[in-house]
Structure 1
Amino acid sequence: MTDPVRVTTAVSKVLAALLEDPEASRYGLDLMRASGHPSGTLYPILLRLQRAGWVETRWEEIDPAEAGRPARRYYRLTPDGLVAARAELAALRQQLDRAFVTKPGMA
């Protein structure tokens, strides 16, 4: 059984970053830049998304000595995660649209 995901503002920023190119695998620093979150916020979110089955991870296959850097861990939305992320962000967008619609007589 997968853990439920509570889509907070922080989570929605990570999902939006992953949805920029759903087929691409993204590494932590790239996602930190795209979401604006520091590592202490980003990695717990990615772990929750992974436990929920929304994100899959893999380690880069490189020789760290040859590359001159450690191997990166890459993250990508799963097919279920892609559907869920799109649905959650669409619902959030609808809520925000309703909240900011000017009601007649309130201009």
Structure 2
Amino acid sequence: MRSRKPSPQTVRVLAALLARAADWRYGYELTKEIGLPSGTLYPVLMRLADQGLLDAEWRASDRPGAPPRHAYRLSRTGVAFALASVDAAAATNTLPGATLA
């Protein structure tokens, strides 16, 4: 696993996934929730999955005739990494979307 701190975009993805850590999430849903374009989001998701921080699987669509969709959720290691990353970003006031009190 990389020792560098995650990018602000990665922290946003981790925070969104952490908010519903047990749920499978779709990329499209995450783009709408956190406002990252798909060209930024999907490389982050792939990198996190390659590092073992996300579980990823193809899931059948709810719509008849629609193709399967890739779904993501934090792995056990990913939950710990997300907690540490979000906490570190909050402690340094670099948590995306956070406001100073």
TM value normalised by structure 2 = 0.83
Aligned-partner residue type, residue 11 of structure 2: S
In 2, Cα distance between equivalents of 1:13 and 1:92: 10
Alignment partner, residue 16 of structure 1: 15
Alignment partner, residue 55 of structure 1: 54
> How many pairs align?
95
Which residue of 67, 76, 79 maps to 2:76? 79
Alignment partner, residue 97 of structure 2: none
Farther-moved stretch of structure 1 (72-81 vs 29-38): 29-38
Taking the TM superposition and a 5 Å limit, the aligned residue runs for 1:1-107 are 3-4=1-2, 6-61=5-60, 67-96=64-93
Aligned-partner residue type, residue 19 of structure 1: L
How big is the shift at 1:74? 0.3
The answer as to whether partners of 2:5 and 2:85 remain within 8 angstroms in 1 is no
Moved over 3 A (4+): none
Identity of aligned residues (%): 35
Greater Rg over alpha carbons, structure: 1
Farther-moved stretch of structure 1 (29-38 vs 75-84): 29-38
Alignment partner, residue 104 of structure 1: none
How big is the shift at 1:6? 4.0
- Which runs of 5 or more residues in structure 1 are unaligned? 102-107
In 2, Cα distance between equivalents of 1:71 and 1:50: 18
> CA offsets, 1:75-96, max 9 Å, x none?
0000000011001110110111
TM value normalised by structure 1 = 0.79
- The CA RMSD measured in Å over matched residues stands at 2.1
How big is the shift at 1:61? 3.4
Q: In proportion to residue count, which structure has more helix?
A: 1
